[in-house]
Amino acid sequence: MENRPSVWSSNRFWRRSATWVTGVASVLLVFLTFDSMGQMKMGTAADIKNKVDKRIPSPLVINYKIDYKLNKTRGHEIPIIGGMDANGYSKYEEKEKFFGKDNWSEKEAKALIHKGKLTIQAKNCMDCHTLLGNGAYYAPDLTKAWLDPTWETLASAYGGKEYAIAKFLENPPAMAMHERKMPNLGITKEEAKAVVAYLKFMSAIDTNGFPRNFGKIKGAVDARK
Amino acid sequence: MQGNRLYEGQKLALKYFMVAIVLFGAQLLFGLVAAIQFLYPNFLFNILDFSIARILHINALVVWLLYAMIGAVYWLLPDEAGIEVVGVKLGNLAFYILTAAVAVVVLVYLFIQIGPGKESTIWFITEGREYIEAPRWADIGIVAVVLVFLYNVYATVMKGKHTGILVVLMADLIALAGLYLAGMFYTDNIAVDQYWWWWVVHLWVEATWEVYVAAVGGYILIKTLNANRKVVEMWLWIEVAMMFGSGILGLGHHYFWIGTPEYWWEIGALFSALEPVPLVGLFVHVLYDWGKERGKGNNIKNTPAFAWLTVETFGNFLGAGVWGFMHTLPQINLYTHGTQWPAAHGHLAFFGAYVAILIGAIYLAIQGKAGLKEMRMTKASWWAITLITVGVLIMSVSLTISAYVQTMVERGQYGGTWEGYFIAQANQWFVQGMGWRLFSGLAVVVGYGFLVYDLLTIDKKQPAEVREGAVAAA
Amino acid sequence: MIEPCHDVVCSFWSLLNEGPMTLTIILHTLIVLPMVWIYFDEKKKMERGDIPNE
């Protein structure tokens, strides 16, 4: 109960510390943001041509086959665009038809992605689904929806999985797969195509291995039984 | 509290509080709809789909918290600065504009719901970005209204007393308002979109709002316990240091999986763990000081406000701190990201950190309005705080159990596919969790009923000795 | 101990990230260490008695 003043209980010390800490943390965040923004710029046609990996690839990836494979060096799964080389990285070679063609120009692809993103926002997709894991938890995650095995099984009946997904989006209740069905959001044919393009593009974003083991494991225990 | 003579700024605060409580009711109502839809997906299908119910649930939450926050500042501002709020007429005008804008936005959400995939939808119907769905025109309106609010605060403090609480609030509010700008643009790049979206969401709820709460919490402690202002201000600065020191770079824990570089794993993992600790420190310190003086005529001046502040202190620590840290490490978050985990954390944290203290601030305003020297809890206050707090606690625990199922079954066993998702959603433990969530949600709604009743009547239900004290003081 | 950077792009921050927790330790140090200096500075002022009464 002595009355000697201590720095620890002095307002001045804490006020100065708070000011310093806030300032330096903000400055660090600004520097980190500049670095991240540089790395997160959307890729270009030249990047694809030169086989440069980008975290967010060029919209032109819709012309290519996309996969999601474990990379030993990275230690997690990464998107594989246009086939995988011996080291487990993208080759940017194997093409895949998307709505009938695999030579979408950069301009066309960009326009498609633009409309797709606008539609995703205009229909409030994020308030049922998660995209890159963020959103609501009422419907499945869409990060790698393009690669989901469900669509592989439906692909042949519709002449390709892009057609199957587009058909579903135009009138989801008609193709409902679950009691918790998606409502009809008045998505037009053009919008559906654009959304599918966005899903394909999004599946090629490098998410540092999220979701882990996508589609690889089948459960052995079913707690419902 | 000086009898019935309120500052004009405080009368404006009461208006903000009124709208806040109404929107709180709307939040609970739409939350209930969404909770029912988890169990009975056909409920209101095609009329009020889950996405719409959820938009209204979370937007009503954000908007009512902001209303109550602005209200609480208008309440304490003239009291702390010792003068009338400068520009209170402008503040009143801003209040009506904001409320009209909120009404329009809500009606558009409810009845127009969605638009075509065009820029015009982003401008006039919805931006489709969780928490900040409000269309762009409303964003601009919100910024204008907030500028008026900031002007009022700054001009008042410049003219009046500069207390530590006000200085912290001034610095904090400008950051809070500025951050909203980070969410006001469109990009085709979803990773960049979410990067900046988190600047608004995280730097609001895990930095600037927390500091705001510490400042208002300090004010409530001074008012209810006669806390030593020096002690309050010291803890306030500790809170700022810890909150911003850890919270600003704590942003990293949202940058694990959205297309951001890998180094964010390490930044996000270790920052932001200690955020709510100083608030508990402040509370315990003040309570200890008060305990030494107890029985010398210094009763708690407003027991309901104090009770809600107690809920806030520990709710914040548990909800934001413990529940947040449980899934903040990237090694764990890889499997919990995008499951009910964040929902469990979010419910307890928003309630514990913000809802509780703002209700406390409203009780303080009711006491001031009635001009009571002391205000005691009624039966209704007790039922309100008990039902709401226990309800939210049970809700968070049940969501956590459902979240575990999702993490283990959907992510662990099935690798996160759609099939895995629906298998996990049908799992009996998941469904039970959702059932308990609905049940506890109903308890919260009943508690809300008690709360509204209590807020309307508590001043008339005070025991005789408290009322006489008021007469003597007046 | 040192894990070479395998990220898509290796920037300055990724280099700091190569050692065991080096990135987070450096950032925390930058933020916290100057508080030690502030502490002793305040202590000096306090002992000299030139702290104005607030």
Give mean pLDDT, residues C1-23: 90
Residues of chain B positioned with their CB less than 8 A from the CB of A114? 188
Q: Do C27 and A13 touch (CB under 8 A)?
A: no
How many Cβ atoms are within 10 Å of B228's Cβ, its own excluded?
15
- For A25-75, the pLDDT digits (tens) are 999 999 999 999 999 999 999 999 999 999 999 999 999 999 999 999 999
- Is residue C7 in a domain? no
Q: Is A17 on the interface with C (CB under 8 A)?
A: yes
- Is residue C39 in a domain? yes
Q: Is B237 on the interface with A (CB under 8 A)?
A: yes
Residues of chain C positioned with their CB less than 8 A from the CB of B230? 54
Of chain B, the percentage scoring pLDDT greater than 70 comes to 96
Q: Is C10 on the interface with A (CB under 8 A)?
A: no
Residues of chain C positioned with their CB less than 8 A from the CB of B262? 7, 14, 17
| pLDDT of B185 higher than 70 | yes
| pLDDT of A4 higher than 80 | no
Report the phi/psi class of residue A41: left, alpha or beta, with left for phi > 0 and alpha for psi in -120 to 50: beta
Domain membership of residue C26 as a residue range: 12-48
Q: Do A40 and B257 touch (CB under 8 A)?
A: no
Give mean pLDDT, residues B338-357: 95
pLDDT value for A220: 54
Q: Is C48 on the interface with A (CB under 8 A)?
A: no
- Is residue C2 in a domain? no
Q: Report the alpha-carbon distance of residue B120 to residue B135 in Å, rounded.
A: 9
Q: Please name the amino acid found at residue B89.
A: K
Q: Which of C37, C43, C44, C53 to mutate to test the interface with A (most CBs of A within 10 A)?
A: C43
CB-nearest partner of B262 from A21, A134, A208: A208
- Cis bond leading into A211, ω under 30°? yes
| pLDDT of B34 higher than 50 | yes
Residues of chain C positioned with their CB less than 8 A from the CB of B271? 24, 27
Residues of chain B positioned with their CB less than 8 A from the CB of C15? none
Q: Do A223 and B409 touch (CB under 8 A)?
A: yes
Q: Which chains pack against B, by 3+ Cβ pairs within 8 A?
A: A, C
pLDDT value for A142: 96
Q: Report the alpha-carbon distance of residue A79 to residue A75 in Å, rounded.
A: 13
Of chain A, the percentage scoring pLDDT greater than 90 comes to 85
Residue whose pair of structure tokens reads 């402040």 in the numeric block = B282
ipTM: 0.94
Q: Report the alpha-carbon distance of residue A217 to residue B423 in Å, rounded.
A: 13
- For A191-211, the pLDDT digits (tens) are 999 999 999 999 999 999 999
Of chain B, the percentage scoring pLDDT greater than 90 comes to 78
How many Cβ atoms are within 10 Å of B217's Cβ, its own excluded?
27
| A57 → chain C, closest CA residue | C8
The per-residue b/e assignment along B365-394, b for 16 or more CB within 10 angstroms, e otherwise, is bbbbbbbbbbbbbbebbebbbebbbebbbb
Q: Where are the domains of chain A?
A: 45-203
- Is residue C41 in a domain? yes
Which tokens belong to A90? Answer: 């993208």
CB-nearest partner of A5 from C13, C31, C46: C46
Query: Sign of dihedral through CA atoms B144, B150, B153, B154?
Result: negative
- Is residue C21 in a domain? yes
CB-nearest partner of B262 from C7, C28, C31: C7
Fold of A45-203: Cytochrome Bc1 Complex; Chain D, domain 2 (1.10.760)
pLDDT value for B474: 46
Q: Do C11 and A38 touch (CB under 8 A)?
A: yes
| pLDDT of C51 higher than 80 | no
Single out the residue of B98, B27, B1, B3 nearest to residue B350, CA to CA: B27
- For B251-309, the pLDDT digits (tens) are 999 999 999 999 999 999 888 766 667 777 778 888 887 877 766 667 899 999 999 99
Residues of chain B positioned with their CB less than 8 A from the CB of A113? 188
Q: Which of A7, A17, A22, A41 to mutate to test the interface with B (most CBs of B within 10 A)?
A: A22
Q: Do C31 and A21 touch (CB under 8 A)?
A: yes
pLDDT band at B4 (very low <50, low <70, confident <90, very high): low
Query: Sign of dihedral through CA atoms B31, B213, A135, B189?
Result: positive
Number of domains in chain C: 1
Q: Do A7 and C35 touch (CB under 8 A)?
A: no
- Is residue C22 in a domain? yes
Q: Which chains pack against A, by 3+ Cβ pairs within 8 A?
A: B, C
Q: Which of B162, B163, B262 to mutate to test the interface with C (most CBs of C within 10 A)?
A: B262
Q: Please name the amino acid found at residue B422.
A: F
- Is residue C1 in a domain? no
- Is residue C54 in a domain? no
Mean of the per-residue pLDDT values of chain B: 92
Of chain A, the percentage scoring pLDDT greater than 70 comes to 94
Single out the residue of A125, A138, A169, A134 nearest to residue A151, CA to CA: A169
Q: Is C37 on the interface with A (CB under 8 A)?
A: no
Q: Report the alpha-carbon distance of residue C22 to residue B370 in Å, rounded.
A: 58
- For B421-460, the pLDDT digits (tens) are 999 999 999 999 999 999 999 999 999 999 999 999 999 9
Instruction: Give DSSP secondary structure letters for A49-77.
Output: HTT---SB--GGGGGB-EEEEEETTTTEE
